[in-house]
Amino acid sequence: MNIGEASKASKVSAKMIRYYEQIGLIPPADRTDSGYRAYTQDDVHRLHFIRRSRDLGFSVAEITDLLGLWNDKSRQSADVKRLAQQHIDELDRRIESMLEMAATLKALIRCCAGDERPDCPILHTLEQPDISDNKPEARTGAVPRRARANAAGKKPCAH
Amino acid sequence: MNIGEASKASKVSAKMIRYYEQIGLIPPADRTDSGYRAYTQDDVHRLHFIRRSRDLGFSVAEITDLLGLWNDKSRQSADVKRLAQQHIDELDRRIESMLEMAATLKALIRCCAGDERPDCPILHTLEQPDISDNKPEARTGAVPRRARANAAGKKPCAH
DNA sequence: TTAGGGTTTACCATCGTGGGAAGGTCAAGC
DNA sequence: GCTTGACCTTCCCACGATGGTAAACCCTAA
């Protein structure tokens, strides 16, 4: 099977298939005499597995581990469960941080007249006070993007 | 003021200050005779504005617009509100997609014994069925990372 | 004068994905 | 046979925002 057919069958772009091979996520594909990559049904199966794991937000590094467990017939399901739980925890952290950002913005928007006048509490707030709370908390944590907006529950508009 | 002091005062790393200058988010800083960048209180103010906007998850491109509105004394608050609302919508989209991923994973985890046996419904699900729903929906939309996991409410375990 | 710390530019890395160019290959139709 | 179009190959570049490092230069205090 050509890379194009494998791509269609696995829903992984040819570009990505080559990339996964390059970084060692999948073993080098067999080649035809003319240098074309040749894929088996099993290869497509593995690519599909990767694609579904990506759909669930697993990183390539995590998928490396998942593939290892997938191939390990003597695996312990506890290991798989632990990996999945770690990923869930990470997702929950990011969701929490984005919820806080959204809540802050929604509180600001609620106070903005949104008309033709220039006065705007959104800009005013971005300009003036410290948005971040001062909890040192788990700064070492793995949340990749900043997330220190206060939730700003339902404070009255300041203007 | 040196870049280091400006960095401390604005809570934007020196590295990022130079980067923001390079990409044109902020104008080139004045230089001392020896080539050091020199910042005024106003510059720090602007950097602080940028930092707070980043904390709220605005991209640099969005901050370009925000800065334009910030400097535009004849702006209409409706313009600011619209920008903020767009960003909120984007945040909500991403939150939604991550919630779906987390829900799917949690449903899977719930069915995994997590013991020493190799049988694992998580791997089994990654292996077998199509996770993505087939709604074509707004594929053109701006959600950057895949998000086509089904919510998988409380289906009974398949094993 | 020297030592140590700040600053400059320049380059590389991340992570996953897409785009494109330049050239080789294959299969169908003439 | 030859042409044409679709496919494949490798290689390089780009994204976004940030961190790291290295070589060189500058400033200030002792």
pLDDT at A128: 74
So what's the pLDDT on residue A153?
Answer: 45
Residue A57's pLDDT is what? 94
Q: Does the pLDDT of residue A137 top 90, yes or no?
A: no
Query: For position A58, what pLDDT does the model report?
Result: 95
Does A132 sit within 8 Å of B77, measured CB to CB? no
Positions of strand C less than 7 angstroms from a protein CB: 6-9, 15-19, 24-26
* DSSP sequence for A110-121: HT---SSSS--H
Per-residue pLDDT averaged across A72-90, rounded?
93
State the pLDDT at residue A127: 82
Q: pLDDT band for A26, please (50, 70, 90 cuts).
A: very high
For B4-158, list the strands marked E by DSSP.
30-31, 37-38
Q: Residue A114 CA to nucleotide D13 C1', Å?
A: 42
- Estimate to the nearest angstrom the gap between the alpha carbon of A17 and the chain centroid: 19
Rounded Cα gap, residues A123 and A125, in angstroms: 5
Q: Does A148 contact strand D, using a CB cutoff of 7 Å?
A: no
pLDDT value of residue B125: 86
Residues B77, A104: C-beta atoms closer than 8 Å: no
User: What is the percentage of chain A residues whose pLDDT exceeds 90?
Assistant: 72
CA gyration radius, chain B? 24
User: Of A73, A85, A109, which has the smallest distance from its Cβ to B84's Cβ?
Assistant: A109
Contact B118 A148 (CB under 8 A): no
pLDDT of B128 reads 73
Q: What is the ipTM of this complex?
A: 0.83
Average pLDDT along chain A: 85
Nucleotide with minimal C1' distance from the CA of B16 is D18
Average the pLDDT over A60-89 and give the result. Answer: 94
Spell out the per-residue pLDDT of chain B, length 159, in tens: 999 999 999 999 999 999 999 999 999 999 999 999 999 999 999 999 999 999 999 999 999 999 999 999 999 999 999 999 999 999 999 999 999 999 989 998 998 988 899 989 898 888 876 655 443 333 333 334 444 444 444 556 655
Residue in B closest to A59 by C-alpha: B145
pLDDT digits (tens, 9 = 90+) for A87-116: 999 999 999 999 999 999 999 999 999 899
The answer to whether the CB atoms of B122 and A81 lie below 8 A apart is yes
Instruction: For chain A, state the CA radius of gyration.
Output: 24
Distance A37 CA to C20 C1' (A): 21
Q: What is the pLDDT of residue B40?
A: 97
Q: Running DSSP on this structure, what letter comes out for residue A130?
A: -
pLDDT of B85 reads 94
CB A35 under 7 Å to nucleic chain D: yes
CB of A2 nearer than 7 A to strand C: no
Q: Which of A74, A98, A131 sits opposite B95 (nearest CB)?
A: A98
Q: pLDDT band at A24, cuts 50/70/90?
A: very high
Topology of the domain covering A3-71: Multidrug-efflux Transporter Regulator; Chain: A; Domain 2 (1.10.1660)
pTM: 0.83
DSSP output for B17-34 = HHHHHHTTSSPPPEE-TT
Please tell me which residue of chain B has the smallest CA distance to A99.
Answer: B95
Higher pLDDT among residues B143 and A80, named by residue: A80
A136 pLDDT band, cuts 50/70/90, is very low
Cβ partners under 8 Å of residue A150, min gap 6: A100, A104, A131, A132, A133
Nearest CA to CA, how far is B43 from chain A (Å)? Answer: 12
